Amino acid sequence: MRFFDLEGLPRGKRVLVLPVPFEGAVSYGRGAAQGPEAFAEASLQIESYDGELGLDLADVAHFQSLPPVTASDAPSLHAAMAKALAHVDMRREMLLIVGGDHSVPLPAIQLAQKTFPDVVVLHCDAHADLRPSYEGSALSHACIMARVRELGVPVFQVGIRSVCREEQDILRVMPQDSWQVRFAWELGSPEVVARDVRDFVGNRPMYLSFDVDAVDPSLMPGTGTPEPGGLDYRWLQQFWIALWQEGGPELVGLDVCELAPVPGSQLSQTVAAKIAQRILLAALALRCR
């Protein structure tokens, strides 16, 4: 699989892409196994130049994709991913995981923590994903942040608008220095939220876990558990600018999960690829300008 059509000359940061076409841990709509291929194709169609930023991804990054990894269940998937990631050095190359459902990124977050013990996770999602287990599985896509919490990794959540009572009770007692949430219904401007994330992360490295259902389903219909009232495209693209305008946290890895393309439509994968491109441009180029 080719991503962003930037594989040739080793210019700028090396972005290592691991496609994970796995949907063995979903609870509702299917199709996340088609996510990586749809994302890869859409990433080849969009311009690498960002007119708003006046920056070209081709100047700051090149891509190398690893062979896709999948399995029949989450535990074997995580074992296979750990093997595939064994020789990845996150100090040198940026890791991009393309899912697959949201059970996928756990091994990447574990690797980030092993490489950077003080790593912080920024989590964009419609769902809090804090249930201890769901439908009998602790590795369900609905539980990823409960597992991250057990690792002791601090988390900042943005765009959440679907929580159960237990999750909200957990969020209420979470110490502010290790866990913060900005619900979709209370979001301030992108500049205000970005400033809060920068204050929270400080000088620590950051890993981004991006569930595409954070985006409003009017623009992102291709996802298994859509939730109305999501992030607006302009809000989100301004948020990345504000987060990395002249500084901001070092991005060491990211995942894009839960993309389940709608048959016959290119919309969702295009939106996902455009967002990922803006993230990479802002984190790699805007931050250092």
User: Residue numbers of the site for Mn ion (CB under 5 A)?
Assistant: 125-127, 211, 213
In the complex, minimum distance from the CB of residue 224 to Mn ion, in angstroms, rounded to a whole number: 8
Q: How far apart are CA 49 and CA 277, in angstroms?
A: 9
Least distance CB 225 / Mn ion (angstroms): 6
As measured in angstroms, the least distance from the Cβ of 107 to Mn ion is 19
Please, what is the end-to-end C-alpha distance for the chain in angstroms?
31
How many helices (H) and strands (E) in the chain? 9, 10
Phi/psi zone of residue 159: left (φ > 0), alpha (ψ -120 to 50 degrees), beta?
Answer: left
Nearer to Mn ion, 50 or 227 (CB): 227
Q: 3-state secondary structure string, 140-159? A: CCCCHHHHHHHHCCCEEEEE
Which amino acid does the sequence have at 206?
M
Q: How many CB atoms lie within 10 A of CB 287?
A: 17
CB closer to Mn ion, 50 vs 129:
129
Q: 47-71 burial, b if ≥16 CB within 10 A, otherwise e?
A: ebebeebebebbebbbbebbebbbe
Cα distance between residue 41 and residue 224, in whole Å? 20
The least distance separating Mn ion from the CB of residue 105, rounded to whole angstroms, comes to 12
- Residue 211 or 255: the one with the smaller Cβ distance to Mn ion is 211
H/E stretch holding 38 reads helix 35-45
In the complex with Mn ion, which residue's Cβ is closer, 214 or 279? 214
**Residue 5 Cβ vs Mn ion, minimum distance, rounded to whole Å:** 29
Backbone angles phi, psi at 31, to 5 degrees: 115, -5
> Side by side, which strands form the sheet with 94-99?
61-65, 13-20, 94-99, 251-257, 206-211, 120-124, 155-160, 179-183
Q: Tell me how far, at minimum, the Cβ of 223 lies from Mn ion, in Å.
A: 8
Smallest separation, CB 124 to Mn ion (Å): 9
- Would you say 175 and 200 are in contact if contact means Cβ atoms under 8 Å apart? no
Both tokens assigned to 16? 């290592």
Question: Cβ 45 to Mn ion, closest distance in Å?
Answer: 25
